[in-house]
Amino acid sequence: MVFLLLSIFDHLSSFGITFHLMKILFILNGAKPSARKFQSAIKRNMSDGNEFHFVFTTKKGSAIDLAENAAQTFDVIAPVGGDGTLSECVHGLMKAQKTQSNTPLLIPIPLGSGNDFARNFNWKNDEANWRMRLASKAPIPVDVGRIQYANGEETYFQNVTSAGFGPTVVNLVEKFPSGWPGNLKFGLSILIAFIRYKKQTIHVRGEDFTWSGKAMAVVIANGKYFGSGIGIAPKANVNDGFFNVTIIGNITIVDYLMQLRKLKKCKLIQHPEVHYHRSKHIELKCESSLEVDGESGKKGNCIITVFPSALRFK
């Protein structure tokens, strides 16, 4: 089949008709057995003429360097994993944009516990879905958030960053068996975090609002979902140039359980301790670390800025 396709391409090129076969790099989460199964499935069906390459992450953060180094060489980068793997690839490509002219397309393949960014587009991890997206002629521009910490460090996110009980939830999720469904792990972790987490004072300032008080969480959202399907920002749009900010103040576990059905349906919550805002620029001050795309981040005081339509997805 491959030789037949190449023969047809050579014949058509003699008439001045040319085709661009894409170089695709799959960056696979090395900690996920499902990623290795995915690689095996792709290798069994590589007859579409595109050039496929595979590389596995070896530790947290390694996808940043892999994506940055691949930016000038590849047409498409396909992160195979969860929101954390995708976030690292986004970070790497944003770094590459500072010095390089080429920015590859991103085709995320959701194989993580939460896969919350993929929910905005109903992306699946099956081969038919990503091949259909690859063949599409219409890339989707997506905003990217940059976090600048007070110590000078910076990172990027494509979905959500939060202050408050987010890192507690992330740490709890990692303690459950890897084979458990993501919804179950996140659901239990959120309930336990409500009991363990001591609400801290968080200060947040946007372009047209300021809020300060004891809070369960302050969520700066580019996408609608976090925590494996919790619709935390129902009005968020990944390419409108704005963050949606959801402030969850001094609420109880009973409040959360009463509103859980609405959260699962991604509906706005009517509660005196829940507030919604929009802003392109956020100043955040809190006592503990941030949660960034389902991973523990640095301690913040920080400034969070949106980069409109910074990357292209399919």
Average of pLDDT values for 10-27? 60
Q: Hey, what are 83's tokens?
A: 């929101």
Average pLDDT, the chain: 89
State yes or no: pLDDT of 226 exceeds 70.
yes
- Residue 20: the pLDDT is 58
The torsion defined by the Cα of 54, 57, 62 and 66, in degrees rounded to 10, comes to 0
Write down the pTM of the prediction: 0.88
Unique residue bearing structure tokens 């958030």: 145
**Pairwise CA distance, residues 183 & 210, whole Å:** 33
Q: What is the pLDDT of residues 55-76, one digit of tens each?
A: 999 999 999 999 999 999 999 9
CA-CA distance, 200 to 246, in Å (whole number)?
16
**41 vs 73: CA distance, rounded Å:** 24
pLDDT digits (tens, 9 = 90+) for 140-176: 999 999 999 988 899 999 999 999 998 899 889 988 9
Torsion on CA atoms 130, 132, 134, 135, rounded to nearest 10:
170
pLDDT in tens, 257-308: 999 999 999 999 999 999 999 999 999 999 888 999 988 888 878 999 999 9
Compute the distance between CA of residue 296 and CA of residue 3 in angstroms, rounded to an integer: 48
Answer whether 82's CB lies under 8 Å from 115's CB: yes
pLDDT band of 47, cuts 50, 70, 90: low
Question: Which carries the bigger pLDDT value, residue 303 or residue 16?
Answer: 303
Give residue 114's pLDDT band: very low, low, confident or very high (50, 70, 90).
Answer: confident
pLDDT at 51 over 60: yes
Question: Which two structure tokens, joined as six digits, stand for 67?
Answer: 């994506």
Q: What is the per-residue pLDDT across 190-207, written as a single tens digit (0 to 9) for each?
A: 999 998 999 999 999 999
The predicted pLDDT at position 7 comes to 42
Among the listed residues 243, 132, 123, 113, the one whose alpha carbon sits nearest the alpha carbon of residue 189: 113
Within 10 angstroms of residue 5's Cβ, the number of other Cβ atoms is 14
- For 31, the 3-state DSSP assignment is coil
Query: For the chain, how many residues are written?
Result: 314
Rounded Cα distance between 94 and 250, Å, is 36
- According to the model, what pLDDT value does residue 16 have? 40
CB-based burial of residue 77 (10 Å sphere; 0-12 exposed, 13-18 middle, 19+ buried)?
Answer: buried
Q: What is the percent of the chain where pLDDT is above 90?
A: 66
Cα–Cα distance, 83 to 147 (Å, whole number)? 17
